[in-house]
Structure 1
Amino acid sequence: MLNTTNAAIASMSLLLGATAATSSPDVTALLKTRLPKTEVTGVDCTRIAGLCEVTAKENLFYVDASARYLIIGRVYDMETRQDLTAARLLELNPDMLVGGAAKANALANAGEVEASEGGRGSRSEPTVSRQVAQKVDLSSLSDAGAIVWGKGGQKVTVFSDFQCGYCRALSRELEQMNVTVIERPISVLGSRDIADRVLCASDQREAVRAAYAQMPVKAATCDTRGLDENEAFARKHGFSGTPVIVRSDGAVLEGYRPRAALIAWLKGA
């Protein structure tokens, strides 16, 4: 899928230089002709230069200004390190925050792709999503991307995003429990810059509190390759949303849980 997407983007970049920009109404009309079975609920050609964002109920995909090339996949802003597709899907569907952006990832890769009625027939593009591992081995992870805090007792690892509201709520619950939290930030909602600042902070615990409170975290410089390690591990095991909680025995729990449920689950170790 990634190679196909890259090829489509390369083709589009050449095409856009010679093609005048098409307005959203024109793109909408073309999509009705080319995707007659898809209920298009919105077209926005202003959000991302050179692309038109198309919403079809809960699905999100992209076309070029001529509505000839269709892209099903993820758009990343490499300057801000933000996943624009996931952020947009969460904006459209706030209920996705339950369990993080896992549903957003599936929706970003879902969509109906049809040939024209005069072509070779229609087909549906399958949903592409990765099953989250039920149990993982954390021993391959170094300490470089870990932020350790808590009162002691049992250890629990949390893959989190500092812009995730449920991660914030989970952090508050864990703070009231007798556990040592090994927080491993991953950037699902474009929070890599914040994670860099927290990891490099002289007082990481206070920086974590500030980040979740959406307060400024002082910029500092350090080796942040440990965060890359967190994100590679998360991708490998299908952690596409946050929070993801990992017990000391490697058992995985997705999403926010209230304190009583967390205590009961942790006892299972």
Structure 2
Amino acid sequence: MAHSTILTALGGIMMLTGSAQAPTSAQVEAALKDRLPKTKVSSVDCSKVDGLCEVVAGENLFYVDRTARFLVIGRVYDMQTRQDLTAARLLALNPDMLVGSAAKANASAEAPEPPAAGGGTRVTQPALAQHLDVSRLSDKGAIVWGTGPQRVTVFSDFHCGYCRALSQTLESMNVTVIERPISVLGSREIADQVLCARDRHAAVRAAYAQDPIRPGPKCNTSGLDENEAFARAHGLNGTPVIVRSDGAVLEGFKPKPLLEQWLKGAKS
């Protein structure tokens, strides 16, 4: 993955007293109150990732080491289960939270500004357009899967955890998906492979799971350039962006019940 993790020293060393054992979540929370007095900490959990404590502060989600000296703003991935732990936790905290809102909330944690270059990757930001005419796009950049009567276009990025969650949700629905990859997070090479795969649907699944994609013959990938030009022209700077058959736009991951209700509102 191309996501960067920002490690910022907050200064000072917290001395562990009275025991050689690792501090408890309560002790870490107490230390955070001293170090981040303006941040209202909701919960601290040091049991999920060895050496790190997950900190929830309102809409913020970040991590600290067990001495509360180092603060980590970024994504935590379990490479054994291939799960984005940060995305899963954010969805558990607020199922309706957009990726852009989550990223903005995390960035607002009380910490120094990251470097301008190379200091992190913006996950997404809300699209500006409220209605999109995707009929002007050719089929060259479209990856079509599913066989349902309702059609939905998705601008996605294969490095986006929320796009993966959306894809899995759409798999369970009776819809036809027109997936149009755009490289927001540096996934163009993967998108090329998916577009040229013999079984594009299987390739989509493999791409989101970070599994090897069965190679296909070389093909014309200019359709992906068309997708990205369209996205830039209409202010789609993040993913996922979902477009209904009547052009209505929904930004970010949404749970299945909301998607089903939203799709029913399409104007014929």
- TM-score normalised by L of structure 2: 0.53
1:58 matched to 2:59? The reply is: yes
- Secondary structure of 1:85's counterpart equals helix
Q: CA deviation at 1:185?
A: 6.4
Residues 203 and 44 of structure 1, relative CA distance in 2, 3 Å threshold: same
How far 1:89 sits from its partner (Å)?
0.9
Contact 2:41 2:58 in 1 (8 A): yes
Q: 1:86 is matched with which residue?
A: 87
Give the structure 1 partner of residue 74 of structure 2.
Answer: 74
Q: 2:262 is matched with which residue?
A: 258
Give the number of equivalent residue pairs: 210
Note if 1:157 corresponds to 2:153: yes
- Relative distance call for 1:196 and 1:104 in structure 2 (3 A) is farther
How far apart in 1 are the matches of 2:36 and 2:167? 36
Which residue number corresponds to residue 159 of structure 2?
A: none
Conserved 8 A contact 2:78-2:85: no
CA deviations 1:96-120 (Å, max 9, x no partner) are 3xxx544333333232459xxxxxx
Distance change in 2, residues 1:219/1:155 (3 Å): same
* Cα distance change of structure 1 residues 33 and 103 upon mapping to structure 2, 3 Å threshold: same
Could you tell me which runs of 5 or more consecutive residues in structure 1 were left unpaired when the two chains were aligned: 115-127, 176-180, 188-194
Gaps of 5+ in 2: 14-19, 113-122, 157-162, 184-190
Say which SS state the counterpart of residue 164 (structure 1) adopts. helix
Identical pairs, percent:
40
Cα deviation, residue 131, structure 1: 3.7
Query: In the alignment, is the contact (CA less than 8 A) between 2:124 and 2:238 conserved in 1?
Result: no
Map of 2:215 onto structure 1: 222
CA displacement 1:173-205 (0-9 Å, x = unmatched): x44xxxxx4224689xxxxxxx99987986556
Q: Report if aligned partners of 2:155, 2:242 keep a CA contact under 8 Å in 1.
A: yes
Once residues 182 and 103 of structure 1 are traced to their aligned partners in structure 2, the CA distance between those partners, rounded to angstroms, is: 25
The DSSP-based 3-state class of the residue aligned with 2:90 is helix
Contact 2:40/2:58 (8 A) holds in 1: yes
The answer (yes or no) to whether the contact 1:60–1:89 under 8 Å persists in 2 is yes
Residue 85 and residue 108 in structure 1: after superposition, are their counterparts in 2 closer, same or farther (change >3 A)?
A: farther
Partner of 2:243: 245
Q: What aligned pairs does 1:50-199 form with structure 2 within 5 A after superposition?
A: 50-71=51-72, 73-77=73-77, 79=79, 82-96=83-97, 100-113=98-111, 130-134=125-129, 143=140, 146-149=142-145, 157-159=153-155, 161-164=163-166, 167-168=169-170, 171-172=173-174, 174-175=175-176, 181-184=177-180
- Please give the alpha-carbon distance, in whole angstroms, between the structure 1 residues aligned to 2:59 and 2:215: 40
- Partner Cα distance (1:199, 1:243) in 2: 19
CA distance in 2, matches of 1:185, 1:129: 14
Secondary structure of the structure 2 residue equivalent to 1:46: strand
8 Å CA contact retained: 2:5, 2:74: no
What SS does the corresponding residue of 1:61 show, helix, strand or coil? strand
Q: Give the CA deviation at 1:31.
A: 1.1
Alpha-carbon distance, 1:60 to partner:
1.0
Say if 1:92 and 1:165 are closer, same or farther in 2 by CA, change over 3 A. Answer: farther
Q: Are the structure 2 counterparts of residues 247 and 64 from structure 1 closer, same or farther at C-alpha, using a change threshold of 3 Å?
A: same
After TM superposition, the structure 1 stretch with the greater mean CA deviation from structure 2, 157-166 or 54-63, is 157-166
Which deviations, in whole Å up to 9, do the C-alpha atoms of 1:57-82 show, x marking residues without a partner?
332112222212223x3224283664
**Is contact 2:28-2:44 (8 Å) kept?**
yes
Change (3 A) 1:166 1:57: farther
What is the CA-CA distance between 1:152 and the residue it aligns to?
Answer: 11
Describe the superposition over 1:202-244 as per-residue Cα deviations: whole angstroms up to 9, x where unpaired. 6556x59xx7xxxx9x986226xx8xx79x958993324x452
